[in-house]
Structure 1
Amino acid sequence: MSGNYSSLGSESVGGSVPVAAVADHVLPFQDSNLQTFPPSDNRGKVAGSFQPPRDADDTFSQPGQGGQGGGADTPQGWQSYFNVITYRPYFNVDTVDVLERIKDSLFPYKSDFVEKTSHNPDMYGPFWICSTLVFVTAALGNFAAYLAHKTSAGGGEAWHYDINKVTYAAIMFYGYVGVIPLGLYFLLKYLGVVSGLIQLWCLYGYSLFVFIPASFLSVVPWDIMRWVVVGVATLMSAAFLGLNIRSHIKTGSDRWFVIVMSAVALQLGLGLVMKLYFFTFFYHDTLKI
């Protein structure tokens, strides 16, 4: 079958593709005008371009770097207050930030919490501190009541837990952190003191952290021990709150002493209510249901 094929000669074939021209004229590429950006430092944080709602003064309520600018999708006007995206910058913290602020709340003598958090006050820590306190005080309060009942004279009788402690704890802690800073904010605004509502919520929220370990220590079945534990925790919390408010408003109002003492008194009252309702069990000795 090889005879059916003819070899291709070396003659030139018509219509062939011409040889490519020598690369004498190379078109140079123009320099790129693309802008390079440095790596972001918001590791572990929410990065966004949404402007939070103004709480009348931005000096002590600015969000972190993730909240700069105003995106095209950001709700404008009064509608922004009903959109979750608007409040996202106030949760722009990571674990390191929250732990650092918790540590600062345990050392009240520094009184620099307001300055350290002024660039990025958060609501993440206060929300979870209050939520933890609600369930911790309710659960441990019932458990401490059980231990007190078993060690009392009527320990052989049936014991019943109090589910209402959860409701009352939620009202007490959420209400305190929500309402007291709001009232203080309007008072400071009336006196012409520069302040921010988010900053005050942040300060009050972290001031309650010390009550969490105090709740665990208050389980011991000795009332004197409970008074000491809750008393020390209340003094630490009140000192942290009072010193930071003092350092913030001392130069802004000549009534700073009255304001600071009022805030400290309310914090002491909160600790007293916590001790008397959640960790005082003298009435359980004769309780019969």
Structure 2
Amino acid sequence: MSKGYHSLGDEIVSGSVPVAASSDRVLQFQESNLQTFPPSDTRGKLSGSFQPPRDADDSFSNPGSGSQGGANGSSTGSGWQSYFNAVSYRPYFNVDTADVVERIRDSLFPFKGDFVEKTSHNPDMYGPFWICSTLVFVTAALGNFAAFLSAQSGSWHYDVNKVSWAAFMFYGYVAVIPLGLYFVLKYLGVVSGLVQLWCLYGYSLFVFIPASFLCVVPWDIMRWAVVGVAAVMSAGFLAINIRSHVKTASERWFLIVTSSAALQLGLALVVKLYFFTYFYHDSLVHV
């Protein structure tokens, strides 16, 4: 068998591999057209500014496809369902301490008239909520304490009903009056935001907090003076800002402004008569 192999010549045998020619030429491979990574297309580009898709982060906190969020993974819902989701109200509480302090300071200087412009980009309900909550407890507690100081006999008793009436009055006023004004302005064609009106009315009541502390003094003349000054400041702050907002948009701006100021003065009158007026009962005869 080996002898047969030695007898083979240089002829090409069918099915055999030819001997590589001894040449100095180097084989050159053509450049591949395969796609390189990362791809040049911006849809798949890997860079420092890459952001994951919206439905890829916080996957455990987002609802599934069968929940309220729907197939897109949104947790806020759509349509009327968003009114029952707390996440929908998050932008209205997006303020810090500096923002709230600045807005309270602006409410104490009512003649600037730029409160609506400052809060137009970010009206909040955080400040109005806590201002009303503080007023509920302050007016109820200090009203009873003022009645105690004014009592000339031992017939004084704590009126717990002032807490419920204060909550009904302040929460109801800030919620209902701006809502009514919103529909009036909408009927007149004036562009306004409901949350912006709630913000304006809520901060307008802050001046009654320090006024409530001053009304503890058992001098009725001083109480009338304190409540009167607070009423003028609050009504002026409200009227000037509403005037700057609706004067150029409606011919009935004077009626709107005066009505808003009159309601604010009426609220101050109720605060004085209900919380800081003590009626003496010495003349009553108990049988």
TM-score scaled by length of structure 2? 0.74
Q: Which residue of 1 aligns with 2:196?
A: 199
Question: Could you tell me which residue of structure 2 aligns to residue 235 of structure 1?
Answer: 232
Q: Is the Cα contact below 8 Å between 1:145 and 1:284 reproduced in 2?
A: no
Distance 1:235 1:148, change over 3 A: same
CA distance in 2, matches of 1:161, 1:33: 69
Residue of structure 1 in register with 2:250 after alignment: 253
In structure 1, stretches of 5+ residues that fail to align are: 1-28, 38-69
SS at match of 2:191: coil
One-letter code aligned to 2:137: F
Q: How many residues align?
A: 224
CA separation of 1:71 and 1:98: change in aligned 2, threshold 3 A: farther
1:33 and 2:47 equivalent?
A: yes
The structure with the larger Rg is 2
> C-alpha distance in 2, partners of 1:284/1:202?
41
Which letter does structure 1 place at the counterpart of 2:160? I
Residues 226 and 83 of structure 1: CA distance in aligned 2, closer, same or farther (over 3 Å): same
How far is the alpha carbon of 1:287 from its aligned partner? Answer: 6.9
Kindly state the Cα deviation for residue 147 of structure 1 after the two structures are TM-superposed.
0.2
Matches within 5 A, 1:1-289: 33-35=47-49, 72-149=74-151, 152=152, 155=153, 157-286=154-283
**Tell me, what secondary structure is at the counterpart of 2:280?**
helix
In structure 2, what is the Cα distance between the partners aligned to 1:245 and 1:288?
Answer: 51
**What one-letter code is carried by the residue in structure 1 that aligns with 2:164?**
T
Unaligned residue ranges in structure 2 (runs of 5+):
1-36, 39-44, 52-71
Q: Secondary structure at the match of 2:111?
A: helix
- In the alignment, the residues of structure 2 paired with residue 141 and residue 111 of structure 1 have an alpha-carbon distance, to the nearest angstrom, of 32
When the two chains are superposed, the root-mean-square deviation of aligned CA atoms in Å is 2.0
Q: State the SS of the aligned residue for 1:109.
A: coil
What amino acid does structure 1 have at the position aligned with 2:159? D
Rounded to whole Å, the distance in 1 between the matches of 2:73 and 2:205 is 35
- Regions of 4+ moved over 6 Å: none
Q: Which has the bigger relative contact order, CA under 8 A and spacing at least 6?
A: 1
CA distance in 2, matches of 1:124, 1:196: 16
TM-score by length of 1: 0.74
> How far apart in 2 are the matches of 1:111 and 1:261?
16
* Inter-partner Cα distance in structure 2 for 1:88 and 1:33: 32
Q: How far apart, CA to CA, are the structure 2 residues paired with 1:105 and 1:288?
A: 47
Counterparts of 1:240 and 1:246, CA distance in 2: 10
- The percentage of counterpart residues that share the same residue type is 75
